[in-house]
Chain A
Amino acid sequence: MTVAPKRDDYDVVVIGAGPAGLAAAATSAEAGLSTLLLDENIGPGGQVFRAIASTPVTDRNQLGADYWVGADLVQSLCASNAEVIQRATVWSLDRNLDIAVSIGGASAFVKAKRVILATGALERPFPIPGWTLPGVMTAGAAQTMLKSSALVPDGRTVIAGQGPLLWLLAAQILRLGGRIDRILDTTERGNYFAALPHAFAFLTSPYFAKGLSMMREVKAKVQVVSGVVELSASGDGQLASVSYVAGGKRETIAADLLLLHQGVVPNVNLAMSAGIEHRWDDLQLCWSPVLDASGNSSVAGIAIAGDGAGIGGANAAVVRGRIAARAAVEVLAPASAAKLPAMATLRADLAKAERGRLFLDTLFRPAPQFRIPKGDTIVCRCEEVTAKDVLDSVAIGATGPNQLKAYRRTGMGPCQGRLCGLTVTELMAQARGKTPQEIGYYRLRAPVKPITLAELAAVPKSEADVKAVVRG
């Protein structure tokens, strides 16, 4: 599997083999463009279709029909002549569309005429007291283990947070015979009213019936506490208990595993490092790239598809992948575009797939106290920087996330801000009475994933490269 790309240049390089990337690469290759798909994981599928080609969970009802859609996408990709490399970590992309990728400990370089970024989403940080304790994980982490290794929670398990994934995970754990002791729902009461104007689109979307039946399935078996307004984890070197406040009452329960989830946000690191303009999304409370209707970004030749383009879910991601690939085909091989579904058809598919999203975004908009922590709660997990540390730095002059690096090293650990960036922006915005857009984000640069100096030193170099840095 760990082989370098066959060519130095491609018509289209797709980065990420989730729903958007699978669809984009298959579409591009079917139209005859030389296509390379690079993906960091062991197998294709991204997060939503994780381990689609290898899952040991063979009873199809347990993971659900929405999961197995991924198998068709993988099949279409395999039937095309796209070149696919798994366990390939792209660590650099620039505005010349030069890509650096680490495969099996060695870096390779490819150039693309068009790049489609399909780097998807990651779970929103959930910075509560004790969230770094062993035994506290994301809901997505548990789902990853469930899909790829048929592992289910065994000890006293609490799931806390909100959003569609939380209910899907709970249903899947129960179907596989796993244990859930309690679900703590942090959805703000006021969100139900705020979401009401968008209810019609939701009620007539496929999300509604599926979501309702899943919640019923879970609520029949697990105690669900709604209106949770405070949440913390504690223990000495290991999670021992979860404490929460709901309906004005505090309760503490013993727990071995706490699974946190409050939605997903675009994984912006590679896109931002390429210089693509992003803006703060006030509804989804995250950075989203500025894109045209075909997914083209502010950097010529780079399009973004899937949840990295703004959270839209798996169905929308597939369509966005096809739209971005079709747009590439229209530019690079216009004659072949006729073979593909018309752009108008794809746009109609996208509108359908996005139906109900506004309702979900409004209903599951996470509450301020779960996004903007206080006191000793850790904000930056890598460098172990607390909310108080950040506020102290603001008090002595740190103006934004990039200045804060010099004060506290936030965002300078191996995760490169993925687990603290949004928290830092919102925390500093609140402290300074500014908007997140005004406060901004970390300036992200290659390498967007850590690589060793030895790997960098082993990169092929020309005489001119050497002359540029060697004296005399």
Chain B
Amino acid sequence: MFRRSEQDKRPQVQIFVDGVAVAARQGDTVSAALLASGQDARRSTAVSGAPRLPYCMMGVCFDCLVTIDGVGNRQGCLVPVAEGMQIEIQKGKREIGK
């Protein structure tokens, strides 16, 4: 859906998406890294389970909700990637203890 422009010379950052290593770039948000990864990053909604991807990328729509380092319901578009970050695609509502 998206690809990186060749001029992007930022250093790579390795993150894990549902346990699979993904190469992100320093300064990417979690959502941008997911959309650039080519992986299926669709979450499912808490209400009907419908699949969704980020819509606004600016912190207002909450369709980028994702579990980051064990914490659910994070807005992936507002969180920068960090080396070794563990991302889980959130299916349905946030679970207790996450």
Task: Write the residues of chain A forming the contact surface with B, with a CB cutoff of 8 angstroms.
Answer: 40-42, 47, 51, 54, 56-59, 87, 122-123, 132, 134-138, 140-142, 144-145, 148-155, 176-178, 237-238, 256-257, 267, 381-384, 413-415, 418-419, 450
Q: Which residues of B contact A256 (CB under 8 A)?
A: 1
Is B23 part of the binding interface, using a Cβ–Cβ cutoff of 8 Å?
no
A178 to B48, CA, bound (A): 34
B65 adjacent to A145 (CB under 8 Å): no
Is B80 part of the binding interface, using a Cβ–Cβ cutoff of 8 Å?
yes
A418 adjacent to B78 (CB under 8 Å): no
User: What are 19 residue pairs bridging A and B, where the CB atoms are less than 8 Å apart in the complex?
Assistant: A56-B7, A56-B8, A56-B27, A122-B58, A132-B52, A134-B42, A134-B52, A137-B56, A138-B56, A140-B58, A141-B58, A144-B57, A148-B29, A148-B32, A152-B2, A152-B3, A384-B50, A414-B62, A418-B61
A153 to B80, CA, bound (A): 21
A41 to B56, CA, bound (A): 14
A176 to B35, CA, bound (A): 17
Q: Which residues of B contact A87 (CB under 8 A)?
A: 78
New A-B contacts (13) at CB < 8 Å, excluding given A132-B55, A177-B6: A42-B80, A140-B58, A148-B27, A149-B25, A149-B28, A151-B5, A152-B3, A155-B1, A176-B7, A237-B42, A381-B61, A415-B62, A419-B61
A256 to B47, CA, bound (A): 25
- Counting chain B CB atoms within 10 Å of each CB, the highest count among A42, A58, A122, A137 belongs to A137
Distance to closest chain A CB from B75 (angstroms): 9
A257 to B77, CA, bound (A): 18
A144 to B61, CA, bound (A): 14
B29 adjacent to A122 (CB under 8 Å): no
Is B36 part of the binding interface, using a Cβ–Cβ cutoff of 8 Å?
yes
Distance to closest chain A CB from B69 (angstroms): 11
B57 adjacent to A153 (CB under 8 Å): no
Distance to closest chain B CB from A136 (angstroms): 7
In the complex formed, the residue of A with least CB distance to B32 is A149
B7 adjacent to A58 (CB under 8 Å): yes
Residue in A51, A154, A415 whose CB lies within 8 Å of B60: A415
Residue in A56, A135, A148, A150 whose CB lies within 8 Å of B53: A135
Residue in B3, B4, B10, B50 whose CB lies within 8 Å of A132: B50
Is B84 part of the binding interface, using a Cβ–Cβ cutoff of 8 Å?
no
In the complex formed, the residue of A with least CB distance to B65 is A414
Distance to closest chain A CB from B55 (angstroms): 6
A382 to B65, CA, bound (A): 11
B55 adjacent to A149 (CB under 8 Å): no
Residue in B10, B55, B73 whose CB lies within 8 Å of A141: B55
Chain B: interface secondary structure?
loop
Q: Contacts A418-B61, A419-B61 given; indicate if A57 touches B7 (C-beta within 8 A).
A: yes
Q: Which residues of B contact A148 (CB under 8 A)?
A: 27-29, 32
A154 adjacent to B2 (CB under 8 Å): yes
A57 adjacent to B5 (CB under 8 Å): yes
- Counting chain B CB atoms within 10 Å of each CB, the highest count among A123, A148, A150, A154 belongs to A150
Q: Which residues of A contact B77 (CB under 8 A)?
A: 144
A413 to B93, CA, bound (A): 12
**Top 4 nearest A-B pairs by Cβ distance?**
A141-B57, A134-B53, A414-B62, A150-B5
Residue in B1, B29, B57 whose CB lies within 8 Å of A42: B29
A51 adjacent to B56 (CB under 8 Å): no
Q: Which residues of A contact B8 (CB under 8 A)?
A: 56, 149-150
B62 adjacent to A140 (CB under 8 Å): no
In the complex formed, the residue of B with least CB distance to A414 is B62
Distance to closest chain B CB from A129 (angstroms): 14
- Counting chain A CB atoms within 10 Å of each CB, the highest count among B10, B35, B51, B61 belongs to B61
A418 to B61, CA, bound (A): 7
Is B76 part of the binding interface, using a Cβ–Cβ cutoff of 8 Å?
no
A383 to B45, CA, bound (A): 9
A215 to B3, CA, bound (A): 24
Distance to closest chain B CB from A121 (angstroms): 10
In the complex formed, the residue of B with least CB distance to A237 is B51
B48 adjacent to A384 (CB under 8 Å): yes
In the complex formed, the residue of B with least CB distance to A383 is B47
A178 to B27, CA, bound (A): 20
Residue in B5, B33, B36, B62 whose CB lies within 8 Å of A382: B62
B56 adjacent to A141 (CB under 8 Å): yes
Q: Which residues of A contact B51 (CB under 8 A)?
A: 134, 237-238
Q: Which residues of A contact B35 (CB under 8 A)?
A: 145, 151
Q: Which residues of B contact A56 (CB under 8 A)?
A: 5, 7-10, 25, 27
A154 to B27, CA, bound (A): 21
Q: Which residues of A contact B70 (CB under 8 A)?
A: none
Distance to closest chain A CB from B84 (angstroms): 18
B58 adjacent to A59 (CB under 8 Å): no
Distance to closest chain A CB from B39 (angstroms): 12
